[in-house]
Structure 1
Amino acid sequence: MATRHFLTLLDLSPEELDYLIQRAITIKDGLKKEGPVYTPMANRTLAMIFEKSSTRTRVSFETAMAQFGGHALFLSSRDTQLGRGEPIGDTARVLSEMVDGVMIRTFAHSDIEAFADASSVPVINALTDDYHPCQLLADVMTWTECRGSVKGKTAVWIGDGNNMCHSWINAARQFDFTLRICCPEGYEPDSEIVAAAGGRVSIHRDPQEAVLGADLVTTDVWASMGQEEEQLKREADFAGYQVNEAMLDKASDDVIFLHCLPAHRGEEISMGLLDDPRAVVWQEAGNRLHAQKALLEFLMLGRQD
């Protein structure tokens, strides 16, 4: 099988993404019933390069490889020659000779593209400044578990047009649902990414109107990693964009709420929102493990129909 990478959701076809969601659910069900007895990756190694901090991403990938019978190797920029100026392509070629896959969490999306271009083993985007596709696999998996097929449904993104928003746009394209993006002026997502999604995506300013009848509502912190110095300005600019229980009341009767976490209670969400039964964020967080297991299996071993 030719080497496949997962840098954005657009790297896989809609049919392949649908397969991944169902495969993740199957893997999760097997783990719950039988424990970690499915070990298809004995003696396989995943290199994990982190240039940004992480909780869910590191734990989920490391646990996935352990439960699959393989090994995950943690590498920070401080521990590798990347941190001392080795060209990205050189590092990619070296690791390709030693490991079976590479997961990268970094800043510039162009860096992970350059790494993938030089790599002969699968490369997985575990977050860049532009995209977070692994999170969307877990999100769509959670939505599917809770409400069935997402095709034709309506999701609402409230907040900054950031990397998570970009991946939600790509998800709308690939999984065929409608996405309403509600953000203040000046915080819109990349216009080319929006345009490529066509009529599935629309931009809104009033969150109270945007959520009307929605099947899913989601948000993210107002200041992402690297934007902490903008916190006070962003708090002022996003006034009125907090997601709360009253806002969800205006959505569909069976609406669910997602958040990629970590969440800042009292800022982008109300203090008690994560305790609302419509919030399924803990299930969503746990699904990172299962969705990424399905992705690792697909990229390293191929389909397991």
Structure 2
Amino acid sequence: MIQFHNRNFLKERDFSKEQLELLIDFAEHLKLKEKHGIPHRFMSGKHLAMIFEKQSTRTRSAFTVAAGKLGAQVEYLNKDDIQLGAKESVEDTAKVLGSMFDGIVYRGFDQATVESLGEHAGVPVWNALTNEWHPTQMLADFLTIKEHLGDFHGKTVTFVGDGRNNISHSLLITGAILGVNINIVAPKALQPSISIQKLACEIKEDSGSSILVTENIEEGVYGSDIIYTDVWCSMGEEDALEERYTLLHPYQVNQSLIDMTGKAHTIFLHCLPAIHDTKTDMGRTVFDKFGMDGYEVTDEVFRSPYSKVFQQAENRMHTIKALLAATCGDVY
């Protein structure tokens, strides 16, 4: 664990294949301790600052609960509480918070902001989501895959939907690092940028994974061990509902798409929240506009036995706990 001490986790490439694997294994170990009621207060007396410029359910809850179970205290700072980037530079804010707190969590828009915090804080900084990357989500995803399929090496994860978002970016890079095959199935207008694809192709040379980016649903889905999707309209893009429907409705994850994998043990993942029924404002809007009972995924798939979305959500806490303990705790 010594190689993690005081390290930032700002994007997936901050850690090597071996380090990511060790974090996932450590999370599995801490999850077992949790289930058996074995204390693991590796962060007693520590204090964490949580800067959240975007809404959050799972990430905020996971960091808060993980820190508490490790013995740390958290201070939540939303965008209206501090002067970050408004009356005070990111560098100055980082230096102030770093002098008082033992670690900083940042969830916001620009990757450059969390990079600057990491450069100047002098304490570990963790990316809880930016427009470009979502690294802590990846730890939970690959732990979930390992739990259900025994291993993630050599498996094929297929992301279906809007391939330009942070989840598809993070899957491409994390898969390339870990030796996991990653398919991105999306219309041409919503495929990952060439620069992201190129980076993933460079990284995969060391791990032996494969990468496929295609608009052909059958080609991309066949042979998949995991089908993964995300909301078609991310935070702040709700006005693009009709445009995304036009582009993406053939890419809805439904039972017919799952059957295209040709595998009996394919699992379904979603980082949540999901528009899968009419029990939310967005779900009702989708039904009224398009007659769809579900948007990016049907309720049938979402609630199926092979859907592991809630275990995946719980694993946010276990993997974040491992990350906090390894980088900021007393586990050595």
Question: Normalised by the shorter chain, which TM-score bucket?
Answer: over 0.9
From 280, 303, 326, the equivalent of 1:275 is 303
CA contact (8 A) 2:230 2:272 kept: yes
Letter in 1 for 2:249: A
Structure 2 unaligned segments of length 5 or more: list them: 205-209, 277-293
From 160, 163, 170, the equivalent of 1:167 is 170
Deviations 1:130-161 (A, max 9, x none): 01111110000000011122111111010112
Deviation, 1:301, is 3.1
Number of corresponding residues:
303
1:258 matched to 2:269? The reply is yes
- Counterpart Cα distance in 2 of 1:29 and 1:211: 33
Letter in 2 for 1:75: L
Matching of residues 1-305 of structure 1 within 5 Å: 3-34=6-37, 37-82=39-84, 84-161=86-163, 162-198=165-201, 200-251=210-261, 252-265=263-276, 266-301=294-329
2:94 counterpart SS class: helix
Deviations 1:157-213 (A, max 9, x none): 101121010000111111111111011121111211111221622111122331111
Letter in 1 for 2:267: I
Deviation, 1:302, is 7.0
Deviation, 1:271, is 2.2
Deviation, 1:303, is 6.1
Structure 1 unaligned segments of length 5 or more: list them: none
Q: Provide the alpha-carbon RMSD of the alignment.
A: 1.4
Letter in 2 for 1:268: E
Between the two proteins, what is the percent identity of the paired residues? 38
The runs of at least 4 consecutive aligned structure 1 residues that moved more than 4 Å come to none
- Counterpart Cα distance in 2 of 1:201 and 1:8: 19
Deviations 1:203-238 (A, max 9, x none): 111223311111111010001011111111111110
CA contact (8 A) 1:105 1:127 kept: yes
Deviations 1:276-295 (A, max 9, x none): 11110000000000000000
Letter in 2 for 1:203: V
Deviation, 1:83, is 6.3
Judging changes above 3 Å, is the alpha-carbon distance between structure 1 residues 178 and 88 closer, same or farther for their aligned structure 2 residues? same
Deviations 1:49-83 (A, max 9, x none): 00000000111100011111110110001011226
TM-score (normalised: structure 1): 0.96
CA contact (8 A) 2:228 2:270 kept: yes
TM-score (normalised: structure 2): 0.88
- Counterpart Cα distance in 2 of 1:239 and 1:250: 17
Aligned to 2:280: none
CA contact (8 A) 1:77 1:83 kept: no
- Counterpart Cα distance in 2 of 1:160 and 1:105: 21
Judging changes above 3 Å, is the alpha-carbon distance between structure 1 residues 38 and 3 closer, same or farther for their aligned structure 2 residues? closer
